[in-house]
Amino acid sequence: MPHVVTQACCGDASCVFACPVNCIHPTPDEPDFATAEMLYVDPSTCVDCGACVSACPVGAIVPDHRLPAGQERFVDLNARHYAAAEAPSTSDAASMAARFPVDHVLRLPLAPAAPPSALRAGTSVDVGIVGSGPSAMYAADELLRHPQVSVTIYERLDRPFGLARFGVAPDHLSTRSVMRLFDEIARDARLRILLNTEIGRDITLDEVRRRHDAVIWAGGAPTDRPIEIPGTGLGGVASATSFVGWYNDHPDFADLDVDLSTDRAVVIGNGNVALDVARILVTDPGELVATTIAPRALEVLRRSEIEEVVVVGRRGPADAAFTLPELVGLADSGVPITVDEADLAPVLHPDSESPGAPGVLDDTSRAKNAVLQEIAARRTPSGRRIRLAFWESPAEFTGTGRVSSVTLRRNRIGDGPTGIEETGQHRDLPAGLVLTAVGYRGVAVPGLPFDAATGTVPHRTGRVVDGDAPVRGVYVTGWIKRGPSGFIGTNKSDSAETVAALLEDLSGR
């Protein structure tokens, strides 16, 4: 019985390194790893040993006969990833057969062996890390593999682990279980976590730099990307990131004024955050009791009058920002969801023959389309539901004091910066709550260079640079390094790269 990667896949690739027969792909050194929305087990080479199950920090891998309800579709998704894979050359296959006791291994093992320590025995290295989210914890883990290293983490909040605690949806318990791995890392005697310690308030960055041989800034992207249209200041308009913080008990958002006495909420943007907030808004509060949701938020949700949550994407389904595993999880979870079939038809650019036609879709977009088509064919749910809308951009939020309507402009494929253009049509959608889920954004760190266009600190393989000049002893990892994209586990390889640069710099001492 082969194993199957399911919805909670965090992409940290621990399973890849644990697998003795190299049947999980893409691996971090394969080109499509950077864009993969999940990893996949090859059912024809999986030897069912379960090593990946123990390695996965979020419990996302299960034998195919023990799939939880709603995850059945992942058997096919895993298998389909390999359907078109090329067969190896005869010599590769022969050498693999000699090295591994399996008859039909299809790929060379790509999981790299851990490099030998770049540090001389007897040296001691003291590293400060700012932030305690996933990228910080993976960086600490990577550093603490070297017995010469000790680490101090500076965290401004009273609880550690950043977005793993305050960003992951409360009903995504598997994903949240990555905190058990972080707890494990935090138990190392060579790691100190200083809570309630904010750089710039309690200690300066210069002071932190003086205290340590090197500093890794892993402060993430703590604000939301603004949306610049009229009406964003109205009551009832908030960022999804603040709403997420509110239901996850983030101290900064405890007092967010959330009024759910309206029959429609509109979520702008259709990334995974948009799906998270929409799902929480329509889930029966009775089911949320068994999650980690903040009790105060649950009480407000119990009184919700919302009937419909419209998730608005400005582009078409093929370019939806939500990932395939999250869409599948939503479609098969029993959450009432609907999509208008007309939104799914390819919308052609007036001057070209066929852009946007199904023939140009990649495999992941094609699979998303199939799920959306299936949702569209379902009967529209009668009660509280999510509606996925495509091809619409918000033009204005209107209302007196509080928002009461959203003006949406219709788009089609075109020559604009995001590959769309306005059609000239628009509609007004009544709504008493608007959540903007258009992405997170990094903020400038006093004392470090900053690229305002991307909201990141400029770096070379994790080494902070100011123009061409290195900022000695300072490194970055996570969203402040690469921008707000990827999954929790993406930070593992990202932090490994930064730590490798740091250790190389300190190895000559």
Q: How far is the CB of 483 from ligand NAP (least distance, A)?
A: 9
CB nearer ligand NAP, residue 62 or residue 503: 62
> What is the rounded CA–CA span in Å between residue 343 and residue 302?
32
**Of the candidates 217, 224, 225, the residue with the CA atom closest to the CA atom of residue 448:** 217
Please report, as residue ranges, which positions from 345 to 404 form the binding site for ligand NAP (by CB under 6 A).
393
> What is the rounded CA–CA span in Å between residue 291 and residue 169?
9
323 binds ligand NAP (CB under 6 A): yes
H/E run at residue 55: helix 51-55
Q: Which residues make Cβ contacts (< 8 Å) with residue 419, sequence separation at least 6? A: 315, 319, 413
40 binds ligand NAP (CB under 6 A): no
Stretch that binds ligand NAP, among 76-84, 150-158, 272-280, 422-430 (CB under 6 A): 272-280
> What is the rounded CA–CA span in Å between residue 199 and residue 221?
15
Q: How far is the CB of 316 from ligand NAP (least distance, A)?
A: 10
Please report, as residue ranges, which positions from 413 to 452 form the binding site for ligand NAP (by CB under 6 A).
418, 437-440
In this structure, are residues 193 and 157 in contact, taking their beta carbons and an 8 Å threshold?
no
Give the sheet arrangement for strand 191-194, strand by strand.
191-194, 149-154, 125-130, 214-217, 469-476, 463-466, 459-460
CB nearer ligand NAP, residue 398 or residue 485: 485
Q: How far is the CB of 320 from ligand NAP (least distance, A)?
A: 7
- Residue from 271, 455, 473, 478 touching ligand NAP (CB under 6 A): that is 271
> What is the rounded CA–CA span in Å between residue 15 and residue 135?
18
Q: How far is the CB of 110 from ligand NAP (least distance, A)?
A: 24
**Of the candidates 221, 219, 220, 201, the residue with the CA atom closest to the CA atom of residue 129:** 219
Q: What is the DSSP letter of 33?
A: G
Stretch that binds ligand NAP, among 142-150, 154-162, 380-388, 478-486 (CB under 6 A): 478-486
245 binds ligand NAP (CB under 6 A): no
- Residue from 42, 64, 326, 497 touching ligand NAP (CB under 6 A): that is 326
Q: How far is the CB of 481 from ligand NAP (least distance, A)?
A: 14
CB nearer ligand NAP, residue 232 or residue 485: 485
Number of residue whose CB is nearest ligand NAP: 271
CB nearer ligand NAP, residue 418 or residue 454: 418
- Residue from 95, 292, 423, 485 touching ligand NAP (CB under 6 A): that is 485
**Of the candidates 64, 38, 68, 60, the residue with the CA atom closest to the CA atom of residue 364:** 38
What the block records as the tokens of 206 is 């210069």
> What is the rounded CA–CA span in Å between residue 256 and residue 268?
19
In this structure, are residues 212 and 126 in contact, taking their beta carbons and an 8 Å threshold?
yes
> What is the rounded CA–CA span in Å between residue 319 and residue 283?
26
What the block records as the tokens of 476 is 């970055």
Q: For residue 26, say if its preceding peptide bond is cis, omega within 30 degrees of 0.
A: yes
- Residue from 321, 327, 335, 408 touching ligand NAP (CB under 6 A): that is 321
- Residue from 107, 314, 368, 459 touching ligand NAP (CB under 6 A): that is 314
CB nearer ligand NAP, residue 463 or residue 482: 482
Contact residues toward ligand NAP (CB under 6 A) are: 227, 268-274, 276, 313-315, 319, 321, 323, 326, 393, 418, 437-440, 484-487
